[in-house]
């Protein structure tokens, strides 16, 4: 695939890693003009190859565009080029990125994973089946430190399935309900697999984005009772989930991993920003490579809602089979979960002076209502905090 400009000036290596700066890894811009021109050229290349990939897969819209890459913090393109002694050729691309996915494991249980994904893969028609795809794929695996089985593949074509079978022996799929294909070995290799569902019926699930304060409130509620039938372990697990740093935030695929350098770097960064260039601070300030487990400096890396998923409402679900009882005598005004009656007194119990039921709690007698334990089922109704 040829372009109207000389791509050999942009891509010095046969395979280049490109993040959201739209500049290849290791690219050195002599000045601001050069950097801007280069991003425009790279954008044109990405759009053209992305279009060709979509056509090869029979898609109406390209999966890969320069805008998507520019606006993404965790997608990366590996572009394969060739120096043909003239203006150079583009041979293909491979796009990867992390996705937060709910997937079934071998037992049919739902798992929440933050998996590295193959999002787009294309080798020019004239050069397919010549081993180039393997070279490109291998390079990506090595750079990202991935194994083939830990990858989720987004809507793989028959060609790609055949490719993965042939080169990596990936043939046994774990059936999914979404468009992603994962293979045997996926869970064994998932560093960040997270199991949210303990069983199909019984769980206390919190979104991990709940803050500590909310978790502490829940815990203090629970600590008020002497008789818990939802195991305290569940609550502790809840807290643990909250305490753990979000693996969405420690994604090893980071387009800020690049080490693009400018001859007058700091000044250039400032001028980029002042020109309303689609400026990503981390792209230009961080020349170090960030790996999984590295300390993430929150001042340096900023993540949007889309990336962290924080726009989603946190929730607590108490399975209907679970029993929980609070011995809370007085109304503290919190307004979410309150049983304003003494421990052991059923909701249906009324005297001419007292009705112990409380408007803010919807409680129905369980089978054990009239036992000494006096359990009740609870439904939690939405509260701004949850
Ligand atoms: C998540 C996604 O990206 S899905 C979309 C995947 N992309 C496409 O389908 C676009 C069109 N296809 C291509 O661009 C390429 O064929 C790729 C990227 C899938 C593979 O790149 P290649 O350079 O052809 O791969 P490479 O030469 O290393 O390996 C060849 C193997 O790939 C598979 N393969 C490649 N082309 C074909 C084909 N036309 N039909 C069937 N299998 C094919 C085969 O297993 C083949 O081995 P074989 O020749 O012994 O049968």
CATH of residue 54's domain is 3.40.630.30
Ligand 1 site, CB within 6 A: 53, 56-57, 118, 120-123, 128-134, 153-157, 159-160, 162-163, 166
Give the residue, 279 or 40, on which the prediction is more confident.
40
Interatomic CA distance for residues 326 and 228, integer angstroms: 8
The total number of structural domains that make up the chain: 1
The ipTM, to two decimals, is: 0.99
Inside any domain, residue 200:
no
> How crowded is residue 90: how many other Cβ atoms within 10 Å of its Cβ?
20
Residues 6+ apart with CB under 8 A from 125: 56
**Residue 194 annotated as lining a ligand binding site:** no
- Tokens, residue 334: 């919190």
Q: What is the mean pLDDT of residues 285-298?
A: 36
Inside any domain, residue 341:
no
Handedness of CA 17, 21, 24, 25 (dihedral sign): negative
Inside any domain, residue 70:
yes
Q: What is the pLDDT of residues 138-175, one digit of tens each?
A: 999 999 999 999 999 999 999 999 999 999 999 999 99
129 CA distance to ligand 1 middle (Å): 6
165 CA distance to ligand 1 middle (Å): 11
**CA-based nearest residue to 116, from 65, 159, 171, 78:** 78
Max mean pLDDT among 96-105, 188-197, 298-307, 346-355 falls in: 96-105
Ligand 1 atom at shortest distance from the alpha carbon of 166: 45
Place of tokens 């109704």: 381
Q: What is the mean pLDDT of residues 232-252?
A: 39
Inside any domain, residue 32:
yes
The mean-pLDDT minimum among 105-119, 198-212, 217-231 falls in 198-212
**Model pLDDT, residue 200:** 32
Inside any domain, residue 26:
yes
Question: 254-281 b/e with 16+ CB inside 10 Å = b?
Answer: bbbbbebebeeeeebbeebeeeeeeebe
28 CA distance to ligand 1 middle (Å): 33
Ligand 1 atom at shortest distance from the alpha carbon of 132: 23
Inside any domain, residue 277:
no
| CB-facing half-sphere around the CA of 287: CA atoms within 13 A | 9
Percent of the chain with pLDDT over 70: 49
Inside any domain, residue 215:
no
pLDDT band at 71 (very low <50, low <70, confident <90, very high): very high
Interatomic CA distance for residues 212 and 121, integer angstroms: 41
- Domain span holding position 93: 15-188
106 CA distance to ligand 1 middle (Å): 27
**Residue 173 annotated as lining a ligand binding site:** no
Alpha-helical regions (H) of the chain: 32-57, 66-70, 132-144, 158-168, 186-189, 212-223, 232-243, 265-274, 281-285, 305-308
* Residues 358, 339 contacting (CB under 8 angstroms): yes
Inside any domain, residue 120:
yes
* Residues 110, 102 contacting (CB under 8 angstroms): yes
Q: What is the mean pLDDT of residues 43-68?
A: 97
At residue 344's C-alpha, the angle toward residues 333 and 336, to 5°, is 25
Q: Is residue 181 over pLDDT 90?
A: yes
**Model pLDDT, residue 95:** 98
Q: What is the mean pLDDT of residues 278-304?
A: 38
- Tokens, residue 378: 């609870």
């Amino acid at each position: 695939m040829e372009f109207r400009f000389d791509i050999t000036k942009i891509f010095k290596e046969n395979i280049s890693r490109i993040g959201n700066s739209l500049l290849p890894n290791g690219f050195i811009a002599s000045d601001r003009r050069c950097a801007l021109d280069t991003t425009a050229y790279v954008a044109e290349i990405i759009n053209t190859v992305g279009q060709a990939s979509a056509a090869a897969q029979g898609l109406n819209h390209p999966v890969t565009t320069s805008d998507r890459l520019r606006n993404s913090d965790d997608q990366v393109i590996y572009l394969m080029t060739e120096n043909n002694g003239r203006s150079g050729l583009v041979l293909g691309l491979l796009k990867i990125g992390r996705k937060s996915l709910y997937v079934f494991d071998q037992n049919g249980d739902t798992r929440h994973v933050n998996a590295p994904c193959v999002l787009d893969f294309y080798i020019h028609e004239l050069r397919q089946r010549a081993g180039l795809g393997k070279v490109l794929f291998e390079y990506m695996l090595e750079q990202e430190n991935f194994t083939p089985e830990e990858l989720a593949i987004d809507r793989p074509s028959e060609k790609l399935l055949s490719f993965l079978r042939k080169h990596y022996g990936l043939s046994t799929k774990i059936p999914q309900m979404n468009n992603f294909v994962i293979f045997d070995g996926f869970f064994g290799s998932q560093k960040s697999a997270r199991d949210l569902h303990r069983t199909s019926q019984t769980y206390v699930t919190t979104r991990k984005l709940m803050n500590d304060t909310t978790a502490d409130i829940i815990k203090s509620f629970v600590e008020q009772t002497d008789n818990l039938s939802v195991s305290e372990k569940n609550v502790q697990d809840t807290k643990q989930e909250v305490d753990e740093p979000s693996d969405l935030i420690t994604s090893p695929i980071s387009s800020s991993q690049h080490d693009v350098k400018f001859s007058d770097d700091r000044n250039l960064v400032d001028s980029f920003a002042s020109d309303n260039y689609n400026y990503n601070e981390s792209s230009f300030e961080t020349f170090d490579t960030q790996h999984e487990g590295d300390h993430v400096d929150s001042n340096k890396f900023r993540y949007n809602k889309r990336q962290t998923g924080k726009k989603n409402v946190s929730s607590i679900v108490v399975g209907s089979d679970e029993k929980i009882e609070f011995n809370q005598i007085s109304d503290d005004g919190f307004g979410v979960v309150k049983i304003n009656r003494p421990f052991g007194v059923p909701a249906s119990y009324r005297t001419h002076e007292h009705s112990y039921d409380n408007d803010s709690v919807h409680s129905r007698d369980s089978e054990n209502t009239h036992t000494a334990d006096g359990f009740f089922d609870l439904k939690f109704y939405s509260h701004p905090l949850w």
